[in-house]
């Protein structure tokens, strides 16, 4: 069960503001996490509490394909992102690396900054604990469920290859 405070964002949050291009030669997600959302709010990284949740409006993660965007959110301790829609590459990347994302129509209208949220990843049930309203995320297609069940795309590929390397 995921439970934490809400960090609210608007629509069309691009991967450049999640992690600026100038940091994209740093491969260590923990180092990148120090600069997450720096260009929108330079204090974000120091204020964000691991386990908290991002609720955003439509088209979250648009722009660059940089996988370091979901990687640094995960490294910063973002427990989940809920939005009405995600840009497609960000969506794939999140599934592939195991950042929990939840697609729920109009979700941004029902959350304010700092409210408490509970998410059951198994059922996709998202509850605003401050208002007691509940929402259900769109189920993932069966194929994506398989990737997630395998623990990400790398494990899925390992299974396909029947490999034994640790």
Q: Applying CB under 8 A, does 9 fall inside the site for other proteins? A: no
Q: Applying CB under 8 A, does 14 fall inside the site for other proteins? A: yes
Q: Applying CB under 8 A, does 164 fall inside the site for other proteins? A: yes
Q: Applying CB under 8 A, does 88 fall inside the site for other proteins? A: yes
Distance, CA of 32 to CA of 161 (rounded, Å)? 32
Total site size for other proteins, rule CB under 8 A = 48
Distance, CA of 21 to CA of 17 (rounded, Å)? 9
Q: Applying CB under 8 A, does 97 fall inside the site for other proteins? A: yes
Length of the chain: 166
Among 2, 8, 26, 77, binds other proteins (CB under 8 A): 26
The 3 state secondary structure assigned to 21-53 is HHHCCCCCHHHHHCCCCCCCCCCHHHHCCCCCE
Locus of tokens 């809920």 = 82
Q: Applying CB under 8 A, does 128 fall inside the site for other proteins? A: no
Outline where DSSP puts E strands in 52-152: 53-56, 80-83, 101-103, 116-120, 125-128, 133-136
Q: Applying CB under 8 A, does 43 fall inside the site for other proteins? A: no
Q: Applying CB under 8 A, does 153 fall inside the site for other proteins? A: yes
Q: Applying CB under 8 A, does 101 fall inside the site for other proteins? A: no
Q: Applying CB under 8 A, does 74 fall inside the site for other proteins? A: no
Distance, CA of 26 to CA of 86 (rounded, Å)? 25
CB of 108 to other proteins, least distance (A): 14
**Of 116, 13, 19, 27, nearest to 57 (Cα)?**
13
Q: Under the rule (CB under 8 A), what is the footprint of other proteins?
A: 12, 14, 16-17, 20-22, 24-27, 39-40, 58-59, 62-68, 70-71, 85, 87-89, 92-93, 96-97, 141, 143, 147, 152-154, 156-158, 160-166
């Amino acid at each position: 069960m995921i439970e934490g405070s809400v960090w609210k964002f608007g629509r069309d949050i691009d991967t450049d503001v999640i992690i600026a291009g100038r940091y994209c030669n740093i491969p260590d997600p923990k180092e990148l996490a120090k600069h997450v959302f720096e260009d929108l709010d330079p204090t974000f990284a120091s204020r964000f509490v691991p386990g908290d949740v991002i609720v955003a409006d439509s088209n979250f993660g648009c722009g660059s394909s940089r996988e370091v965007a979901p990687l640094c959110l995960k490294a910063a301790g973002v427990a989940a992102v809920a939005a009405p829609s995600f840009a497609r590459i960000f969506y794939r990347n999140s599934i592939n690396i195991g950042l929990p994302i939840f697609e729920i129509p109009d979700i941004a209208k029902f959350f304010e900054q700092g409210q408490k949220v509970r998410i059951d990843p198994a059922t996709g049930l998202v509850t605003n604990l401050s208002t007691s309203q509940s929402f259900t995320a769109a189920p993932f297609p069966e194929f994506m469920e398989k990737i997630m069940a395998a623990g990400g795309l790398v494990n899925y590929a390992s299974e396909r290859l029947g490999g034994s390397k640790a």
